[in-house]
């Protein structure tokens, strides 16, 4: 027997302004199954909740409808009130007569009639609700952090400091990411490595952090609280437990011609190398493609010089399984490669600027290495072609960013700030140099950011031209930069010694493959998708997987660090309990009806459905069925849609409920 209570909120005058709530209450009192129907000014307030609780008690309600605002606001509130009075919280429905009614309709008669319809549907629905319990899933209190840049480091330290084990996987030979290669950071002009390396060392030494460098995430199985991750530790050919980092090997290596990845091609490294002196771990790897011992079987000088006997040319990749409960993705970014060859058909190159053709047209990360004290030129700014000190440098903003024609319509956020920084670093090194910046807008929204840009212009004499550059050509060792200054209304041509392109930030290579392994979505550019852009910026729609840093979207260091701590905070909320509870409004499959065609298993975006067997006591197979894993299902309803026999249903949104709602409208 249905005993439904209907509670209609005035919401001050938000609802009552356009919906005649008293009349509405009179109408709804007569709906089939309704025991009581009343109104109150602010149902979500404490007296309002007490009113609900009183009615649950008095009328022995077995279901209730609160007609008020959107469930996003107060569904939890009313569920808690019901639960406190012994009514299962999932026997509570809301009819949105505010956002869906009083806020968008102004004709009182029509709005009241619509509100009556909404309540009628909600009553028809709640009569068929099932009492549900939150799903409890066991939890492994260890976290995986993918990516050892500043975001990954911050997240790993926060979680590790909270007392939980962290597995940190980084695909380069050292952690540190892009920040380790920067010269100075805005807006303080702190030396980037000086502020980062203490953190890196902490990670390397932290008792709670298990660090895998030169490693990739190969496969992820399982579900929130119970992931099983396979990590491929690539062959280093150096046993880091024996190696002391003395450097005899890389000094002895005869092959010193390989372009350095860390220097973005601005410098060279040897075949056995440590990417930079402050690397963590400070142990070398052998580049198997450059090492003559590994390619041709000749040399082996490093092994001969190694006092610790740490070189092992027979090393193999190793696959390791780690069990974790949460995953934080912090894979960072790369700069867009503006050559002709693009990674997908939607992108187009930037031939106009001569990058790749003219040696002295470089990108901003390459510039960072040229001015960095630990860089290939020892901190002296020398241009790549002839090593001369450039007297005129042109910085070009928005190369690829904000450009539909190139397939990237977003703003890369950091370039305005680092262009200003670059002009200042340049001026500090080449006192008689002149920096030019071609820009479209200046985006300097952070704390002390605008002041920083003004300083570059007013104190360090950077010349800013509002306009774009159409073409760069080379004549007699000079780069002819043809642009425009729209504020002056004239074309501008500059003969530059060096051109630095602020190319667009893109997510790091391989992020799409990784996202598919994690069942995390990504946008058309490859940036990983957060659950909600405003309210849930570090969660993803894959339960237990969080994102932080530039992999989620272009951002600078303070934001990356903030997001990393946020993600770590989410992980700690998860780990603060002994088990995970999840909302039970997920799919369920009627195992008697299921034809075991397993279309749902294929269609499920979260791999949340398993193939199961039903056996009798003697172990004989009775039938096969699909079965939803309650730890993983996100309640998207795809299985319900594809099931041909309609054996799959969503709790809280069953077919019977939906049909009842439609039919209640007459």
Residues lying near other proteins in the complex (CB under 8 A) are found at: 30, 32, 592-603, 611, 624, 642, 644-647, 655-656, 659-660, 663, 665-666
3-class state of residue 11 by DSSP: coil
**Minimum CB distance to other proteins, residue 358 (Å):** 36
**Minimum CB distance to other proteins, residue 634 (Å):** 17
- In order, the DSSP letters of 250-318 are HHH-S---EEPTTTTTSSEE-SEE-SSTT-SS---EE-TTT-HHHHHS---HHHHH-TT--B-TT---E
Among 538, 169, 502, which Cα is nearest to 335's?
502
Structure tokens at 484: 């425009």
Instruction: State residue 149 phi and psi, 5-degree precision.
Output: -80, -165
Burial of 133 (0-12, 13-18, 19+ CB in 10 A): exposed
Nearer Cβ to other proteins, position 32 or 533? Answer: 32
CB atoms within 10 A of CB 29: 13
Nearer Cβ to other proteins, position 457 or 603? Answer: 603
In 92-119, which positions are buried (b, 16+ CB within 10 angstroms) versus exposed (e)? bbbbbbbeebbbebeeeeebbbbbbbbb
**Minimum CB distance to other proteins, residue 25 (Å):** 16
Nearer Cβ to other proteins, position 111 or 661? Answer: 661
Nearer Cβ to other proteins, position 110 or 665? Answer: 665
**In whole angstroms, what is the distance from residue 605 CA to residue 184 CA?**
43
**Minimum CB distance to other proteins, residue 36 (Å):** 17
What letter does residue 659 receive in the DSSP assignment? H
**Minimum CB distance to other proteins, residue 267 (Å):** 38
Nearer Cβ to other proteins, position 278 or 599? Answer: 599
CB atoms within 10 A of CB 513: 10
**Minimum CB distance to other proteins, residue 649 (Å):** 11
Structure tokens at 356: 């790749």
**In whole angstroms, what is the distance from residue 157 CA to residue 375 CA?**
28
Q: How is the beta sheet containing 4-9 ordered, strand by strand?
A: 34-40, 4-9, 63-68, 92-96
* 399 in Cβ contact with 353 (< 8 Å): yes
**Minimum CB distance to other proteins, residue 553 (Å):** 21
Nearer Cβ to other proteins, position 23 or 428? Answer: 23
Nearer Cβ to other proteins, position 188 or 645? Answer: 645
Burial of 431 (0-12, 13-18, 19+ CB in 10 A): exposed
Among 483, 493, 473, which Cα is nearest to 439's?
483
CB atoms within 10 A of CB 46: 9
Nearer Cβ to other proteins, position 252 or 595? Answer: 595
**Minimum CB distance to other proteins, residue 655 (Å):** 6
Nearer Cβ to other proteins, position 496 or 661? Answer: 661
Among 379, 357, 360, 359, which Cα is nearest to 370's?
379
**Minimum CB distance to other proteins, residue 645 (Å):** 4
Nearer Cβ to other proteins, position 168 or 643? Answer: 643
**In whole angstroms, what is the distance from residue 453 CA to residue 416 CA?**
8
Among 269, 272, 274, which Cα is nearest to 258's?
269
Question: Given 3-state DSSP classes, what are the helix, strand and coil percentages for the chain, each rounded to the nearest 5?
Answer: 30, 25, 45
**In whole angstroms, what is the distance from residue 304 CA to residue 316 CA?**
20
CB atoms within 10 A of CB 641: 11
Among 147, 161, 148, 137, which Cα is nearest to 568's?
161
**Minimum CB distance to other proteins, residue 624 (Å):** 7
**Minimum CB distance to other proteins, residue 593 (Å):** 5
**Minimum CB distance to other proteins, residue 660 (Å):** 8
Give the residue carrying structure tokens 């926060």.
Answer: 158
Nearer Cβ to other proteins, position 312 or 638? Answer: 638
**Minimum CB distance to other proteins, residue 510 (Å):** 15
Most distant CA pair in the chain: distance in Å?
Answer: 94
Instruction: State residue 466 phi and psi, 5-degree precision.
Output: -85, 100
Residues in the chain: 666
Nearer Cβ to other proteins, position 318 or 655? Answer: 655
**In whole angstroms, what is the distance from residue 369 CA to residue 261 CA?**
11
Nearer Cβ to other proteins, position 100 or 624? Answer: 624
**Minimum CB distance to other proteins, residue 608 (Å):** 14
Distances (CA, A) of 565 to 153, 374, 420, 538: 10, 29, 28, 10
Give the residue carrying structure tokens 């390989």.
Answer: 258
**Minimum CB distance to other proteins, residue 108 (Å):** 24
**Minimum CB distance to other proteins, residue 118 (Å):** 17
Nearer Cβ to other proteins, position 114 or 413? Answer: 114
Nearer Cβ to other proteins, position 500 or 661? Answer: 661
Nearer Cβ to other proteins, position 73 or 597? Answer: 597
Distances (CA, A) of 450 to 416, 447, 556, 661: 10, 8, 15, 55
């Amino acid at each position: 027997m249905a005993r439904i209570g209907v509670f209609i909120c005035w919401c001050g005058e938000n609802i009552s302004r356009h919906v005649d709530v008293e009349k509405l209450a009179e109408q709804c009192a007569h709906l089939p199954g309704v025991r009581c129907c009343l109104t109150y000014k602010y149902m979500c307030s404490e007296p309002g909740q007490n009113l609900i609780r009183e009615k649950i008690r008095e009328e022995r309600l077995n279901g209730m409808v609160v007609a008020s605002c959107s469930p996003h606001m107060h569904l939890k509130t009313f569920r808690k009130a019901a639960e406190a009075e012994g009514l299962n919280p999932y026997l509570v429905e809301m009819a949105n007569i505010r956002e869906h009614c009083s806020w968008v309709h102004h004709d009182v008669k029509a709005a009241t009639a619509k509100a009556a319809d909404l309540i009628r549907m909600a009553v028809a629905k709640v009569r068929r609700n099932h009492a549900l319990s939150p799903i409890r899933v066991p939890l492994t209190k260890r976290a995986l952090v993918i990516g050892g840049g500043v975001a990954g480091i911050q997240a790993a330290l926060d979680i590790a400091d909270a007392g939980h084990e962290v597995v940190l996987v980084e695909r380069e030979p050292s952690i540190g990411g892009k920040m380790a290669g920067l010269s100075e950071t805005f807006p303080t002009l702190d030396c980037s490595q000086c502020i980062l390396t203490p953190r890196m060392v902490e990670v390397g030494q932290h008792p709670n952090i298990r660090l895998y460098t030169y490693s990739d995430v190969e496969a992820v199985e399982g579900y929130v609280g119970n992931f099983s991750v396979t990590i491929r530790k690539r062959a280093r050919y150096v046993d880091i437990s024996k190696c002391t980092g003395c450097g005899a090997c890389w000094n002895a290596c005869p092959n010193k011609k390989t372009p350095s990845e860390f220097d973005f091609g601005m410098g060279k490294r040897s075949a056995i190398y440590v990417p930079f002196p402050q690397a963590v771990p400070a142990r070398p790897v052998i580049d198997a493609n450059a090492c003559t011992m590994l390619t041709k079987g000749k040399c082996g000088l490093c092994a001969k010089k190694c006092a610790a006997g740490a070189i092992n040319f027979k090393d193999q990749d190793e696959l390791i399984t780690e069990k974790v409960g949460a995953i934080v993705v912090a894979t960072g970014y790369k700069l867009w490669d503006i050559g002709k060859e693009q990674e997908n058909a939607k992108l187009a190159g930037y031939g106009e600027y001569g990058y790749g053709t003219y040696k002295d047209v470089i990108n901003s990360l390459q510039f960072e290495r040229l001015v960095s004290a630990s860089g290939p030129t020892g901190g002296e700014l020398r241009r790549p072609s002839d090593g001369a000190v450039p007297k005129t440098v042109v910085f070009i903003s928005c190369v690829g960013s904000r450009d539909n024609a190139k397939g990237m319509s977003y703003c890369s956020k950091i370039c305005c700030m680092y262009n200003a920084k670059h002009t200042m670093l340049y001026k500090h090194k080449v006192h008689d140099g002149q920096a030019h910046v071609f820009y479209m807008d200046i985006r300097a929204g952070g704390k002390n950011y605008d002041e920083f840009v003004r300083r570059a212009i007013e104190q360090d004499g950077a010349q800013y031209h509002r306009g774009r550059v159409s073409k760069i050509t080379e004549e007699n060792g000079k780069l002819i930069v043809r642009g425009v200054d729209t504020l002056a209304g004239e074309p501008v041509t500059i003969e530059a010694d060096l051109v630095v392109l602020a190319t667009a930030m893109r997510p790091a290579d391989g992020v799409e493959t990784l996202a598919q392994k994690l069942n995390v979505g990504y946008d058309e550019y490859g940036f990983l998708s957060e659950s909600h852009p405003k309210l849930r910026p570090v969660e993803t729609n894959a339960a237990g997987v969080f994102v932080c840093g530039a992999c989620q979207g272009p951002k600078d260091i303070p934001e990356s660090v903030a997001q990393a701590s946020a993600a770590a905070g989410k992980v700690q909320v998860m780990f603060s309990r002994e088990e995970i509870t999840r909302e039970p409004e997920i799919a369920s499959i009627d195992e008697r009806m299921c034809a075991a065609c397993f279309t749902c298993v294929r269609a499920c975006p979260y791999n949340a459905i398993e193939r199961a067997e039903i056996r009798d006591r003697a172990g004989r197979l009775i039938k096969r069925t699909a079965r939803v894993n309650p730890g993983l299902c996100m309640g998207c309803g795809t299985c319900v849609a594809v099931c041909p026999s309609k054996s799959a249903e969503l709790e809280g949104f069953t077919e019977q409920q939906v049909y009842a709602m439609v039919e209640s409208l007459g």
